[in-house]
Each structure stands twice: as structure tokens, then as C-alpha cells.
């Protein structure tokens, strides 16, 4: 099954687990918005739309990319097999970037496709209770992987084997 990577603000550098997974040579596609650093929700969702094309992939999103993937899936639920959402930020949190405020609108609808939310209990961008709130609102399964910060390059996860195993199990459940 095809997979579309939806990185967060700034994109995912070569040390990020998303970049490691893409280098495995499987059927990965990464969205290509006009700017990773000046995010525009319409641009990012259009980039997601282009990356999906005529397929029905699993969206593998990190941070701000999670919010873009949720928004897109609400509009195009027939065109996505599932969402694997890692470290979604709280758009109402104290450190949510003001430049991305438009990503925080209209997120309360249930997601009508299989969804797994993977979070860290010490993510500075989303408190555990807010992560649980999102999972419940979205009708998603939720896994807290412990103390790993924002689950990004700074977390030192590299290939992030635990996350890869979670993704593999999630994808296998969709393929059945």
C-alpha cells in the first residue's frame, strides 16, 4: 500500500525518522508545499492532494503535518486508507506557532478512516490530556510511547524502531 509522508513545520531533516523510513526504498511519497517554514494550510492540503493523486494511501504525518492530514481527510475520506499521526500539536497550546494558527480550525470532527495517534508523554507541543482528547474526538486509537519529547530529530530516535513497528502493525490491520 502506498504511503504519503506529511512532515511538520520546517519539513523533516535527514535525521528525522520520516526521512529514515523514506530511505528504506518502499512506496513513499513526501508532500511538497511551497514553503515548509511559512506554512499555509491551503497550500499544504493542496500539496497533500497532489501527492495522493489517484491512489488511496496511508498518510504518515508528524506534528503540524498531522493537522493538515486531519483537515484533508475530513474532505477526502474516500481517498485515504488510514492516518498514522505522530505528535500532533495542540493548536491552543502556549507554544503553538502563531504562523500556523490557520491549521487549528475545524479539527473536532471524527476521522472516518482507521487512525492511530502516537504521542509522547513529555511533548512540549501537546500535553498528554490534550493528546487523549484529540484521539477521542477523532475516534482514533492512541499510543503514548513514553518520554521522547516531540518525537522528532531532537528526540534522537533516528529510524525509530518502536514507531516503525507500530506503523507496520497499523498498516497490516488496514490491508486485511
pLDDT in tens, 108-124: 899 999 999 999 999 99
User: What are the Cα distances from residue 158, in Å, to 31, 147, 163?
Assistant: 20, 15, 11
Any domain includes 123: no
In a domain, 121, yes or no: no
Distances (CA, A) of 94 to 90, 98, 127: 9, 10, 11
Please report whether residue 162 resides in a domain: yes
* Averaged pLDDT, 36-58: 96
For residue 64, tell me if it sits in a domain: yes
Per-residue confidence (pLDDT) for residue 176, from 0 to 100 = 55
For the chain, how many structural domains are there in total? 1
Domain span holding position 74: 3-116+129-175
72 confidence band (pLDDT: 50, 70, 90): very high
Return the C-alpha cell found at 112.
Answer: 472516518
**Residues 108, 135 contacting (CB under 8 angstroms):** no
CATH number at residue 59: 3.40.50.1820
Amino acid at each position: 500500500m502506498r504511503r504519503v509522508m506529511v512532515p511538520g513545520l520546517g519539513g523533516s531533516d535527514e535525521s528525522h525518522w520520516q526521512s529514515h523510513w523514506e530511505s528504506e526504498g518502499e512506496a513513499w511519497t513526501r508532500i511538497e508545499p511551497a514553503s515548509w517554514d511559512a506554512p499555509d494550510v491551503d497550500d499544504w492540503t493542496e500539496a497533500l492532494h497532489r501527492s495522493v493523486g489517484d491512489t488511496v494511501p496511508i498518510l504518515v504525518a508528524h506534528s503540524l503535518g498531522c493537522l493538515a492530514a486531519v483537515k484533508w481527510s475530513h474532505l477526502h475520506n474516500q481517498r485515504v486508507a488510514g492516518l498514522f499521526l505522530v505528535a500532533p500539536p495542540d493548536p491552543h497550546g502556549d507554544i503553538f506557532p502563531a504562523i500556523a494558527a490557520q491549521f487549528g480550525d475545524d479539527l473536532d470532527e471524527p476521522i472516518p478512516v482507521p487512525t492511530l495517534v502516537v504521542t509522547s508523554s513529555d511533548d512540549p507541543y501537546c500535553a498528554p490530556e490534550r493528546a487523549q482528547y484529540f484521539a477521542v474526538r477523532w475516534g482514533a486509537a492512541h499510543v503514548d510511547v513514553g518520554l521522547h519529547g516531540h518525537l522528532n530529530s531532537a528526540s534522537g530516535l533516528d529510524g525509530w524502531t518502536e514507531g516503525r513497528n507500530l506503523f507496520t502493525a497499523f498498516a497490516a490491520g488496514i490491508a486485511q
